[in-house]
Amino acid sequence: MRIYEVAAAAGVSVATASKALNDTGRMQEETRARVKEVAARLGFRPNAMARGLISKRSFTIGLLTNDTYGRFTLPVMAGISEALVDHGVSVFLCAIEDDPALAQTHVDAMLDKQVDGIIATGKRIDRKLPVDLSRLPVPVVYAFTRGPEDSVTFVSDDFQGSRDAVEWLRRVGRQRIVHVTGPESFESVTWRSAAFREVMGEDALVLNGSWSEQWGHDAIARLWTDGEPTPDGIFCGNDQIARGVIDALRERGIAVPQEVSVVGFDNWEIVAAATRPPLTTVDMNLRTLGREAGLTVLALAEGKEIAAGIRRMPCTLVVRESCGGARD
């Protein structure tokens, strides 16, 4: 079913048919309507390759990710897809696994296919993808991964999210709050700790460990045996640590949230819903982040000017039961 058939069926030339369908050119409204009606009846859909060959727009973008198992990338991807489908743009998924050669292969394939732009995403905000995207003939946007200095980058505002979490702990009446988090080498740990200290003071206690449940357990063991006064509020660097913390407290017979309030970070449903009680935690709104990244790369592809820089997207505190109190 080509435009040629539509034109023939409507009794016009292909030029007229094209103009009718695209609402361009000049012709009687009656002619335009008739062509459209015929096209609809015949189920005509223009061939995107022929169209793209002329317009130099493929209505396609590439999504490069090095995260094939992660809970971070999926919502970002969903947000991108959601934002772009409304504009008729399709997304190439490229899983590159931290392999520079594979990454280059994918980038080359995308450029061959004339993508209008590329979004790079990953599993860590402070790591770059193993491929240089800085001198490409198409716009590039970075989402939840590190980009070069002069790039457009979207990340979550971990500082704001953490501040909200700690302030919430204080709102529900907690005084002696500690922060149990991941390895110092992560930038997100730095942001979250900085926010914690901004609210609680410079010498508030921060315990660094791994991102695991086990570390949550170990941290509680340490806090409850070192002779210091025990905390009544714990801000955890992620939900897995919070899970370990809550389990360890229960094993010690310490009631959450009656005696100790706990807040997590990530709002990883499967963990946050399984803790007993369900976990109050910070959601990074990664889907929204993805949506913004998608709209931005599209704007760039259409030639709009977007200032370079890091955009920090707000986080939201999701209140469940591990803190007591209630969201006002």
Partner DNA sequence: TCAATTTGAGAAAACGTTTTCTCAAAATTA
Partner DNA sequence: TAATTTTGAGAAAACGTTTTCTCAAATTGA
Residue for token pair 């200032």: 307
- Measured CA to CA in angstroms, residue 63 lies from 90, 95, 296 at distances of 10, 8, 13
Interface residue with a copy of itself among 108, 184, 259, 302 (CB under 8 A) is 108
Q: Residues 6 or more apart from 50 whose CB is under 8 A from it?
A: none
The site that binds a copy of itself (CB under 8 A) totals a number of residues, namely 49
Interface residue with DNA among 53, 93, 109, 273 (CB under 7 A) is 53
41 binds DNA (CB under 7 A): no
Could you tell me if 91 and 80 are in contact, meaning their C-beta atoms sit under 8 angstroms apart? Answer: yes
134 binds DNA (CB under 7 A): no
58 binds DNA (CB under 7 A): no
Could you tell me if 116 and 60 are in contact, meaning their C-beta atoms sit under 8 angstroms apart? Answer: yes
Could you tell me if 236 and 163 are in contact, meaning their C-beta atoms sit under 8 angstroms apart? Answer: no
Site string for a copy of itself, 251-270 (x = CB under 8 A): ------------------xx
Interface residue with a copy of itself among 33, 42, 49, 255 (CB under 8 A) is 49
Residue 88 touches which of a copy of itself, DNA, none (CB < 5 to 8 A by kind)?
a copy of itself
Site string for a copy of itself, 3-42 (x = CB under 8 A): ----------------------------------------
Structure tokens at 227: 């002779």
Beta-sheet strands, E only, within 66-139: 90-95, 117-121
Residue 204 touches which of a copy of itself, DNA, none (CB < 5 to 8 A by kind)?
none
Query: What single string gives the DSSP state of each residue in 242-281?
Result: HHHHHHHHHHTT--TTTT-EEEEES--HHHHTTSSSPPEE
Site for a copy of itself, residues 74 to 93, rule: CB under 8 A: 74-75, 77-78, 81-82, 85, 88, 90-93
Rounded to an integer, what distance in angstroms lies between the CA atom of residue 284 and that of residue 106?
28
278 binds a copy of itself (CB under 8 A): no
> What are the backbone angles phi and psi of residue 79, rounded to the nearest 5°?
-65, -40
Residue 269 touches which of a copy of itself, DNA, none (CB < 5 to 8 A by kind)?
a copy of itself
Interface ranges with a copy of itself (CB under 8 A): 45-50, 52-53, 58-60, 63, 68-71, 74-75, 77-78, 81-82, 85, 88, 90-95, 97, 102, 105-106, 108-114, 212-214, 240, 247, 269-270, 274
